[in-house]
Amino acid sequence: MTDILVVDDQISFCDHIKVILETEGYEVDSANEVDSALKMLSQKKYEILLTDYRLGPIDGIELFKKARQLDDDISGVMMTAYASIDSAIQSIKDGFNDYIQKPFEPDILLISIKRIIRERKMAQEIRLLRKEVIERYSFHNIVGKHKLMQNVFELINKVSGHDARVMITGETGVGKELVAKAIHYNSRRKDFPFVGINCAGLTESLLESELFGYEKGAFTGADKTKKGKFEYADGGTLFLDEVGDISSTMQIKLLRVLQENKFERVGGNKTIDANVRIISATNQELDEKIKKGDFRVELYYRLNIFPIKIPALRDRIEDIPILTNHFINKFNKKYKKSVEGVSTKVMKAMMHHSWPGNVRELENLIEREFVTIENNKIEHIDLSGTFIHNTNKSIYDVDVDLPFKIAKSLVVNRFEKAYLKKLLKGCMGNVNEAARKSKINPRTLWRKIQAFNLELKEFSSDE
């Protein structure tokens, strides 16, 4: 129900307006003088103030200003028989939503009120959506108690209040975009767009068109003018993911924008201001690319003003339990389940997994279990679908599409599993004998056996 306050020094006019609006189902109060109106505004929340321009001691514009001091969300409609362009412009400048000249037909008033209600509803939805987005990307959604993550939080907090360009580094799946959004939604640009683009896999011409946009007729198929990411992000943040994959030609073009804060659309001559904050991310070692001449050092220094390195999950295994609980809570809501946690055996296995896919791998693994779980606790976990337990690969098979450290860890883990299986088979499942023979600490050996989900009964006989 919409509450409306009508203010006019003519009692008969107020009564007339009140009847029109109440017939349409609105809740309407009226006042014939400023003091009464202010008292009513202080005692009750109104969505719309419908006021005459000339009220006596103060005019309708001053009344609306005072109403806004009491409630900055109230909407206003100015009514006056003294219509002029100047007063109309002034009322709009002072925050009124509409301006109606007396005398007016009831339909004119109703159309104005209905439009304002639609605008208020849309504004409320936008506020709720923005609040939801800000809460989603606040610090508490980047989970981690390890000192390495606490350092990341501290860096996010420091840089969010400034416009310095940020370079986020870390392996695939550590949450680089989540950190970028946390910086944006905790900055003064949070009410403006966050626009992201993955630079990997895009051809040079396509990336240029996506970043800068293009004019109609710029190339075959350009049948209309199109804005680019820089324009869509105006006032906000542009997130360049996998920036290390940008071609040398595009590096030069991007460098020019960073130096001059200006650009032109493809096929255009008009210079456009680039009022955006740049946050970039990469999982590559840019130092090595610079040495090879594949990445321009001046672009690197333009982008890497404030570096943030996100640690791999295997470097903060203490965070696995709280991350697991975080994702369980998330998927309980998504799938409308009431999973309470994971068993001790499952947690041990996860604590000894190397997580080449990092937090994203853990999240996907938990969600996969939610699809098939039938009770309120995850008692088993299938790590066979992860990189490490791919039995179709030989020990020394490598995937050069992965970063060196991850590829190396996969080979090491495949080797360890193969070594332990052969060792335990030779010792008929006797862990103490296997530890003595391999010179591995028994406690370490037990941890590795649990991590690889090896069942000792499989090695207890020669059958």
Per-residue pLDDT tens digits for 300-348: 999 999 999 999 998 898 899 999 999 999 999 999 999 999 998 899 8
C-alpha–C-alpha distance, residues 9 and 12, integer Å? 9
Residue 387's pLDDT band (cuts 50, 70, 90): very low
pTM for the full predicted model: 0.62
Higher-pLDDT residue of 208, 95: 208
Identity (one letter) of the amino acid at 197?
I
What's the rounded mean pLDDT across residues 361-371? Answer: 90
Record the tokens describing residue 431, joined without a space: 């862990």
Residue 391's pLDDT band (cuts 50, 70, 90): very low
Give the strands of the sheet with 166-169, arranged side by side. Answer: 194-198, 237-241, 277-282, 166-169, 306-309
Positive/negative CA dihedral, 165, 169, 172, 177: negative
What's the rounded mean pLDDT across residues 287-298? Answer: 93
Q: How far is CA 28 from the centre of its chain?
A: 42
Residue 151, pLDDT > 70, answer yes
Q: How many CA atoms lie within 13 A of 230 on its CB side?
A: 22
Record the tokens describing residue 375, joined without a space: 């009770």
Residue 214's pLDDT band (cuts 50, 70, 90): very high
Per residue in 44-86, pLDDT (tens digit) is: 999 999 998 888 778 888 899 999 999 989 999 988 876 565 6
Residue 397, pLDDT > 90, answer no
